[in-house]
Copies of this chain bind each other. A is one copy, B any other.
Amino acid sequence: MFPDVLTRRFSGLTPLTAVENAAIAAICQRPSAFRPREEIRAEGVSAPLMYFLLDGWAQTSIGVEDGARQILKAHVAGDLMGAPSAPFAEAVETITAVTACVVAPVAPAALAAMFESHPRLAWLFFLTAQEERVALMDRLTAGGQLGAHRNLALLLLQLHARLNPLGDRDMEIPMTQQQMGDMLGLSPVHVNRVLQDLQRDGLVRREGRRYALTDPDRLRAFVGLPLRTFAKPLPGTAGA
């Protein structure tokens, strides 16, 4: 059960060996389940753990004093959550279940130990961390330089790429418009209006929380940022 979903995490880079799969499974603690809206890990707790998301949707967010919060990432099965807090004494981000989900905790020290026995995995985790950085960089760029329309369009494209690697047009996004707003720094009211604009322009179709990108190419052109292809055969790893 574990290995499958975790292997998928790195499938864009390289396939894992059976030994590597086992090494990852070995550092996972017993999985536990959470219900929708339940808090998996609160920001501020000390000695924070990391979590492999085995099933469901979750999100990480940072809260601001006045009650506002920024959602930083929507996680799907296979994601490693909470890693950004690893260098810190106290957790930086809150992890919340969006749908029902199952997570396996991982102690940072255990991951560090794995780095010693499996340097190739260490490199893969390093590359994955860089990918996450790029995702944040793109989002920052979109937030700073693009308007709400192109920003939301980018979000839909990114979710589509992750949910639908095969390229189907249809997808189910289990987020409220409020949550999308918290991701983009927009009010839920404005999210709603922008979604309607995109529909009116024929870029998106929508029924409830089912979204269809009617013309992905036009949508990409509209956004004006390249969609990264997280896919490069692993450069010079085992063979040094």
Which residues of A pack against B, CB within 8 Å? 13, 62, 64-66, 68-70, 72, 83-89, 92-93, 108-109, 112-113, 115-116, 119-120, 122-123, 125-134, 136-141, 143-146, 182, 184-185, 224-225, 228-230, 232, 235-237, 240
Q: How far is the CA of A109 from the CA of B123 in the complex (A)?
A: 10
| Interchain residue pairs with CB less than 8 A apart (16) | A62-B138, A62-B225, A65-B225, A66-B224, A70-B137, A84-B133, A87-B128, A87-B232, A88-B228, A88-B232, A108-B236, A112-B240, A132-B133, A143-B143, A143-B185, A145-B185
**With A119-B116, A225-B64: A89-B232 Cβ-Cβ less than 8 Å:** yes
Contacts of A120 in B (CB 8 A): 116
**Nearest 9 A-B pairs (CB), nearest first?**
A144-B185, A109-B236, A70-B141, A65-B224, A129-B129, A113-B240, A136-B136, A116-B119, A122-B122
> CB within 8 A of A130: which of B87, B143, B185?
B87
A123–B127 touching, CB < 8 Å: no
Contacts of A86 in B (CB 8 A): 126-127, 130
Contacts of A115 in B (CB 8 A): 115, 119, 122-123, 126
A88–B141 touching, CB < 8 Å: no
> CB within 8 A of A129: which of B13, B133, B225, B235?
B133
Q: How far is the CA of A43 from the CA of B201 in the complex (A)?
A: 31
B236–A113 touching, CB < 8 Å: yes
A140–B143 touching, CB < 8 Å: yes
Q: How far is the CA of A139 from the CA of B84 in the complex (A)?
A: 14
Contacts of A122 in B (CB 8 A): 115, 119, 122-123, 126
A236–B112 touching, CB < 8 Å: yes
Contacts of A143 in B (CB 8 A): 140, 143-144, 185
